[in-house]
A = this chain, B = another copy of it.
Amino acid sequence: MAGHMTPEEFRQYGRQVVDRIADYLAGVEQYPVRSAVRPGDVRAQLPASPPERGEPYDDVLADLDRVLLPGVTHWQHPNFFAYFPSNTSGPSILGDLLSAGLGVQGMVWATSPAATELETVVVDWLAELLDLPAHFRTDSRGGGVIQDSASSAALVAVLAALHRASGGKVGADGITGRYTMYVSSQTHSSLEKAGRIAGLGAANVRSVDVDPETLEMNPAHLRALIEQDVAAGATPALVCATIGTTSTTAVDPVRAIGEICREHGIWLHVDAAYAGVAAVCPELRWINDGVAEYADSYATNPHKWLLTNFDCGVLWVADRRPLIDALSILPEYLRNPASESGQVIDYRDWQVPLGRRFRALKLWSVIRWYGAEGLREHIRTGVALAQELAALVAADPDFELRQHHPFGLVCFRPLRTDALELMERVNSSGQLYLTHTKIGDEVWLRMAIGSPATTSAHVATAWETLQTAGKRISPGRR
């Protein structure tokens, strides 16, 4: 019987794994946040060849502890501040476990109707939770879909935009003219990557100036670039506005950008990968000003700050037709009466891959377990902790605080020591983990708060660690 794991063995090991995860998450603080292994350390401890005979699962779990965990950087650690959070949570893990256990393929409605219909329901729920416009909901011309990431969401938005801008010509004949898209220096790199993948080339991903202070996209320069490109015979296909940039959580002026897109008939994609979920809180819905009126597509990732483990990004479109037309191909073996009736959604036509897991289960688990109330409280906790950190930074004359910190990210820089040296010192201590960015020529440190495990005490201790480390670095070495 090929050594299949019996149901009894699965129960036994499954409980062990569940217990280990519970122990891991409860005790994650005991680990250094950032792994201290050097390149090749983990690999060197694993056999070069696969086993000929099967091994007991206990051995797998023992190697998890012995070999893998020292090589893990702990994203769920309360002192992990390095990147935007990648929240996991009990209900999300359980939802993902159910997905793995059921093992269904939801590529089209017919291959497992519940996978498609639950997804439609939860993305509609999330649109409501974020107060996104009604035309993003599936009972309108638009609709939502779970993608693996905001990168993939950006790519399919670019493809839909090219489809619309070219009247379907790009899909049929390829890129035969010059199509342009518009980002800023602060836009996530995945947009340039999407432009390159889609055949526009890096040269046609135009970089719009930002306000040097706020780092928000400059609409006047956007307009100037578009006019210049149109005059030169190019077809502008897409503008990406960002709500909460990766570097500093800047919020682009979506409304002003949208007006320009409307004038020129250009697709407006809004990348709110990190910050979009903050709109579960009414007091943070200002971030979406202009979205209802102007956005053709909008992406945010519950797998960042909304307690749903990776991968779970959501993309909404105001009109699903160009997206589906850009991505649909129907071979004979996928023909079925439900698809041909037009009464169902086949999400394979909303994404790059054909296959798809039952990812809706984890988002459903999360929304039901927490309720709107719990989700708001989680976001508010992160925002409040960021304000606490900002107050600590502001009170220290050895540091400069960057004023914009409406979400969970706080940027600051040491005034008497070298920022990168300070960062490396605290990161290699294993006590906390943060990253840096550059604004102009200045290096700023980024502390992104948002793990469910992070409390006031963690933030205060992290700040003390930074202060102390800063004092130990000789000012002369700045």
Instruction: Kindly list chain B residues whose C-beta atoms are within 8 Å of the C-beta of A142.
Output: none
User: A338, B100: Cβ atoms under 8 Å?
Assistant: no
User: A55, B333: Cβ atoms under 8 Å?
Assistant: no
User: B101, A369: Cβ atoms under 8 Å?
Assistant: no
User: B46, A118: Cβ atoms under 8 Å?
Assistant: yes
| Count of chain copies | 2
User: A174, B203: Cβ atoms under 8 Å?
Assistant: yes
User: B331, A189: Cβ atoms under 8 Å?
Assistant: yes
5 contacts between A and B (CB under 8 A): A39-B113, A42-B114, A50-B368, A93-B101, A159-B197
A21 touches which of B3, B71, B98, B353 (Cβ 8 Å): B98
A325 to B59, CA, bound (A): 39
Chain B residue, CB-CB nearest to A328: B193
User: A109, B75: Cβ atoms under 8 Å?
Assistant: no
User: B437, A101: Cβ atoms under 8 Å?
Assistant: no
Chain B residue, CB-CB nearest to A52: B372
A100 touches which of B10, B71, B96 (Cβ 8 Å): B96
User: A197, B352: Cβ atoms under 8 Å?
Assistant: yes
Instruction: Kindly list chain B residues whose C-beta atoms are within 8 Å of the C-beta of A300.
Output: none
What is the minimal beta-carbon distance from A143 to any residue of chain B, in angstroms? 13
What is the minimal beta-carbon distance from A305 to any residue of chain B, in angstroms? 12
A69 to B117, CA, bound (A): 12
User: A174, B329: Cβ atoms under 8 Å?
Assistant: no
A residues 85-138 in Cβ contact with B at 8 Å? 86-94, 96-98, 100-105, 109-115, 117-118, 120-121, 124-126, 128-129
A105 touches which of B54, B310, B327 (Cβ 8 Å): B310
- Check A394 for interface membership: any CB of B closer than 8 A: no
A residues 187-207 in Cβ contact with B at 8 Å? 188-190, 192-193, 196-204
Instruction: Kindly list chain B residues whose C-beta atoms are within 8 Å of the C-beta of A49.
Output: 125, 128
- Determine, out of A145-153, A224-232, A282-290, A458-466, the stretch whose residues face the partner at the interface: A145-153
A353 to B26, CA, bound (A): 30
A21 to B409, CA, bound (A): 39
**When A51-B371, A60-B369, A170-B199 are in contact, do A25 and B2 touch as well, CB less than 8 Å?**
no
